[in-house]
């Protein structure tokens, strides 16, 4: 009963998810392993995940194995994936992985593959996937096609500076969107020691009426709203899908961002006419959109 199956991997700093997807979109196997550190660790982890997927699905990959990674990806090489210990020098991970796995690999930015997976999940051909994790970045599917850009930087809106007096950013600029609208920004604004994920703690306390937590939530929600507004005004995508680790907040996150967009639209008939708030969605955090999108890479024909 083995039909055409595609393998997809989502390599994150702490964990790697892998899926085997049938040609009708059914997920046949799903695997999660901790990511070993450094480029060698990524190779070893990917090898383990693919072996386990083979065992669990009993299916071999049809076409290339798709792999999503953080950082800028061009021509099978990646740069600036700081969490994977890859800096500004290009790492030719696609060919290294192909050698290591003994199978052709296609490498792509993780937000980009998540955008592909989200488009499939919600049946949209035009969307932005806004990944709110440690950092902030977006993937763009425009008219059914993934927008990569010449240097793989399309959608890297986390590093658009919006506040000249803002916090220094990891990228070397100041006041980037990422300095208010990211998990790292929440951790900076809300040092917590109670063991809860910081975003959960901020939103829970704010809901209980804690004024300081509500203020942090407002700064964060304004930042995410600014990012969503930027995406809708620059490329007018049908919807902006909130994803990434922080989006595990679910509905309270969507409501906070919608509230911020509504407030911004209050004084602007122009913004109000664009229905920005209604175009923001949040994904069920249990859905491995990035790995599923990575599995689609082999069928896209580049």
Q: Which of 22, 105, 176, 224 binds Zn ion (CB under 5 A)?
A: 176
Query: Nearest distance from residue 159's CB to Zn ion, in Å?
Result: 4
Per-position x/- string for 24-63, each x denoting binding to Zn ion as judged by CB under 5 A, each - no binding? ----------------------------------------
Of 106 and 169, CB closest to Zn ion: 169
Compute the half-sphere exposure of residue 51: CA atoms within 13 Å on the CB side of its CA: 9
DSSP string for 225-239: HHHHHHHHHHH--SE
What is d(CA 165, CA 170) in angstroms, rounded to the nearest whole number?
A: 15
Comparison of 159 and 279: residue with beta carbon closer to Zn ion? 159
Site size for Zn ion (CB under 5 A): 5
- In whole angstroms, the minimum distance from the beta carbon of 135 to Zn ion comes to 8
- Specify the residue for token string 């950082």: 71
Per CB under 5 A, the list member of 159, 205, 229, 279 interacting with Zn ion is: 159
- Binding of Zn ion by 226 (CB under 5 A): no
CB atoms within 10 A of CB 259: 16
Q: What angle do CA 270, 177, 254 make, to 5 degrees?
A: 65
Q: Applying CB under 5 A, which part among 50-58, 114-122, 171-179, 234-242 lies near Zn ion?
A: 171-179
Query: Interface with Zn ion includes 218 (CB under 5 A)?
Result: no
Q: How far is the CB of 160 from Zn ion (least distance, A)?
A: 8
- Decide whether 113 or 169 has the Cβ nearer to Zn ion: 169
Task: Examine residue 80 and tell whether it contacts Zn ion (CB under 5 A).
Answer: no
Write the binding mask 109 to 138 for Zn ion: x where contact by CB under 5 A, - elsewhere. ------------------------------
Which residue lies nearer to Zn ion by CB, 43 or 171?
Answer: 171
Q: For every residue of 54-99, which 3-state class applies, written as one string?
A: HHHHCCCCCCCEEEEECCEEECCEEECEHHHCECCCCECHHHHHHH
Q: What phi and psi, each to the nearest 5 degrees, are found at residue 50?
A: -65, -40
Query: What DSSP letter does each residue of 36-50 carry, written as one string?
Result: PSHHHHHHHHHHHHH
Residue 289 DSSP code: H
62 or 174: CB nearest Zn ion: 174
Smallest gap, in angstroms, from Cβ of residue 148 to Zn ion? 20
- From CA 260, how far away is CA 66, in angstroms rounded? 36
Q: Are strands 105-109 and 65-69 parallel, antiparallel or unpaired?
A: parallel
Least separation in angstroms between CB 219 and Zn ion: 16
**Rg of the chain (C-alpha set):** 19
Tell me how far, at minimum, the Cβ of 170 lies from Zn ion, in Å. Answer: 6
Where is 140: in which H helix or E strand? strand 136-142
Among 82, 142, 171, 263, binds Zn ion (CB under 5 A): 171
Q: Which stretch binds Zn ion (CB under 5 A): 26-34, 44-52, 157-165, 291-299?
A: 157-165
Q: Please pick, from the candidates 127, 169, 271, 297, the single residue that binds Zn ion as defined by CB under 5 A.
A: 169
Q: Position of tokens 């916090």?
A: 167
State how far the Cα of 280 lies from the Cα of 98, in Å rounded to an integer. 37
Q: Which positions touch Zn ion (CB under 5 A)?
A: 159, 169, 171, 173, 176
């Amino acid at each position: 009963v083995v039909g055409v199956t595609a393998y997809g991997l989502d390599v994150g700093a702490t964990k790697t998810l892998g899926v085997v997807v049938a040609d009708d979109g059914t997920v046949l196997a799903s695997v999660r392993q901790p990511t070993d550190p450094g480029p060698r660790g990524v190779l070893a982890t990917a090898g383990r995940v693919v072996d386990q997927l083979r065992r669990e699905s009993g299916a071999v990959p049809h076409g290339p194995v798709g792999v999503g990674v953080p950082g800028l990806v061009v021509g099978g090489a990646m740069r600036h994936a700081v969490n994977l210990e890859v800096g500004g020098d290009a790492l030719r991970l696609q060919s290294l992985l192909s050698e290591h796995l003994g199978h052709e690999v296609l490498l792509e930015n993780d937000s980009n593959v998540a955008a592909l997976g989200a488009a499939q999940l919600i049946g949209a051909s035009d969307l932005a996937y806004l990944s709110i994790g440690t950092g902030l970045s977006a993937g763009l599917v425009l008219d059914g096609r993934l927008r990569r850009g010449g240097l793989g930087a399309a959608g890297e809106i986390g590093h658009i500076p919006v506040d000249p007096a803002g916090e220094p950013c990891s990228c070397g600029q100041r006041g980037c969107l990422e300095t208010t609208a990211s998990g790292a920004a929440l951790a900076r604004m809300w040092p917590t020691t109670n063991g809860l994920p910081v975003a959960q703690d901020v939103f829970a306390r704010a809901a209980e009426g804690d004024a300081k937590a509500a203020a942090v939530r407002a700064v964060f929600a304004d930042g995410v709203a600014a990012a969503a507004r930027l995406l809708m005004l620059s490329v007018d995508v049908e919807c902006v899908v909130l994803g990434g680790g922080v989006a595990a907040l679910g509905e309270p996150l969507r409501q906070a961002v919608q509230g911020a967009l509504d407030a911004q639209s209050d004084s602007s008939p122009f913004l109000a006419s664009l229905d920005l708030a209604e175009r923001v969605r949040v994904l069920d955090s249990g859905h491995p959109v990035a790995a599923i999108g990575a599995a689609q890479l082999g069928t896209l024909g580049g």
